[in-house]
Structure formats: C-alpha cells, structure tokens
Copies of this chain bind each other. A is one copy, B any other.
C-alpha cells in the first residue's frame, strides 16, 4: 500500500493506492467527523461488484450508506442524472455534514464530484476510482464536470475530495480496451513528467500489460504523485495544469469527429501524443521522439489502427475546442520529461504532423 499526498494549500488529502482497500474499507476510509449519511454514487455494474464491501466499511465507521445508481459510461454525466441525484439527496434529507462517495470510473467520479460540490453548496466527497484512467488521472485533482448537449465538461466545479482510494483489485475486472485506455494516460505521465517511470516501462512493459498488482502499485502511485505535484501549484487550471493536456489537443479533436467514433479516450490521446511528438520534431524541439513514443505505446498495446480522419476535419475540430479560442495551443516536448506550452502553432505545421502520421490530406 502506498499513500500519496495531494498538497493543495490548506486542504491536503491522501490518495491511497493498494490491493484489498475496498474489502477492508473500514480501515482505509478517511476520518469524516460529523458525517451521518454516506451517499454512494455508482453505476449498476460497478455497484454490483463493489458496493457491498464499501457499504460494510462505511457502516463499520458509523455512517449509513445509501446507494444511488446512474447509467454506465459518459451518459451518466448529463443534466438529467445531475438533477435526479440532487433530488434524491433532498428527498432523503441529506445534510450538509453528510458525505458523497464516487464509486466508479471517470464519468461517475466527475458526476459525483459535481453533485458533492453543489448540493447545499458543498458536501465532502470521497473518490473511489475503479478504472485505471480514473485512478491515474480523473479522480486526482478535484475537477468535476457534467456535459451539455453542446459539449463535454462544459459545466462543473473544482471540489477537492477528502480522500481517494485507488484499489488495484478493481483493475482485474476491466476489459482490455478500458485498461489500455488507462495506459495511454500512464504513457502521458511517463513522457511528460516522469523519466524514471518511462525507463521502467521501456525496460519491461510486460508486468504492466499483465496488470501485475505489485508493479501497478508503483505505476499508479508515480502517476498520482506526478499529477499531485502539478495540481498542488495550479489547483484552478490557470497555468501548469495545461501540461496534463499533452496529447489532448489532437486527442480531443479526434474524439469529437464522427469518423473516429467508437475509439476510447486513451486511443485518441495515444494518437494525439504521436502527433505532438511529430510536431516537436517538425519544430526542431526534439529528435527521435515520434518513434520512441510509437514504440512505447505499441508495447502497451496502443498501436493506432484504422484510418485517421481527413486533416481538414481534425484541424476544424481543434479550432472548435473552446479551451484554445485564442489560437491553436499545443503542449510539446523539448525531449522526454520537458513539456512546454506553445501557443499559435501554424496550421501548416499541424497539417504536416497529421499527414506524416497517416491522416489523409
């Protein structure tokens, strides 16, 4: 078991990473003074497997667990689910001193976090991420969000959790694509922020691919620690947190295109990292970065397959991303472990990078 502190000034909290955390949750839940009810937000599949041990731990700690289920996947992050959860909390007379527990993947955590941030102007929340993506990325840092029909994550709040419990046993239940999607975020951290982790993955990726619990404890802990360092100095996403978007400029654009539908977030980000590597080479920032990135991703089972959308479509989708209204902005590497933010990358360079990695002109 490893504990990593997210040192948000004035409100630090611990992320506990290990095996058996949920079966022994009574021992691993944080102190929650004054809490009476614990409202566990989860989807039906996750709840079927994990609600019982979590509820037992909450009960042992003197809290009354109540399960509130939402649809699985991104569908959960709707205004409709948000409203339904708020009204269920109110109908059950949830009180300001009660707690919300987000038990599930990134979508459940984002939704549970936003409900907790806004019901009675803020209940405490404990995040229990059950996917690799959520354990290494989504559950860390206090971002919560729901979607609008007009776009993803357009509504939300910064609301740091009281604690995060990342139980590695949950990884065994993920299907291969979901697990690999999480590995793309692991690769992102290795390339941008943690050269030791990169060396470890390059040296022998097989225990990571095989979900070896001891190795994954180290991998998840390193990813959490890297993100925690960034979040601690930029809680509100006004500067350094941008680095965490490495691979996401092109990745988000791909996700927005119908012709890319059906791929996972990680698959899109993997291609985004290859495009960013190529762009860094075109700009003369780094050498040999693309092939190294491709090798790393391939060793993790993330070889891009299928045709990329036409270059113009990707460029249009990049420009539509409201985060980048002031000009197309990329996080690029001046070598591994040395991310920089580059504003106003010319279209021609983005176009070249995309076409060199297989998009059609």
Binding site for B on A (CB under 8 A): 79, 83, 86-87, 90-91, 93, 95-96, 114, 117-122, 143, 145, 148-151, 154-158, 236-237, 322-323, 325
A322: B residues at CB distance < 8 A: 93, 95-96, 120
B119/A155 in contact, CB under 8 A: yes
Which residues of B have CB within 8 Å of A119? 154-155
Across-interface contacts of A86 in B (CB, < 8 A): 79, 148, 154-155
Say whether, besides A95-B325, A96-B322, A322-B95, A122 and B87 are in contact (CB < 8 Å): no
> Which one of A79, A155, A322, A325 has the greatest number of beta carbons of chain B within 10 Å?
A155
Known contacts: A79-B83, A157-B157, A322-B93. The answer to whether A121 contacts B150 by CB under 8 A is no
CB pair B95–A158 under 8 Å, yes or no, is: no
By a CB distance below 8 angstroms, the chain B residues around A95 are 322, 325
Minimal beta-carbon separation of A347 from chain B (angstroms): 20
* Stoichiometry (number of copies): 2
Given A90-B148, A90-B154, A325-B95, CB of A237 within 8 Å of CB of B79: no
Output the nearest chain B residue to A145 by Cβ-Cβ distance: B121
Closest to A158 in B: B121
A148, B115: Cα distance in complex, Å:
13
Q: In the complex, which residues of chain B have a beta carbon less than 8 angstroms from the beta carbon of A237?
A: 121
The interface residues of chain B lying within 8 Å CB-to-CB of A83 are 79
Chain B: minimal CB distance from A349 (Å): 24
Q: Are A157 and B118 in contact, CB atoms less than 8 angstroms apart?
A: yes
Kindly state the separation between the CA atoms of A90 and B325 in the bound complex, as whole angstroms.
Answer: 14
Chain B residue numbers with a CB within 8 Å of A155 are 86, 118-120
A157 touches B87 (CB 8 A): no
Smallest distance from the beta carbon of A247 to chain B beta carbons, Å? 21
Nearest-neighbour CB distance to chain B for A115, whole angstroms, equals: 9
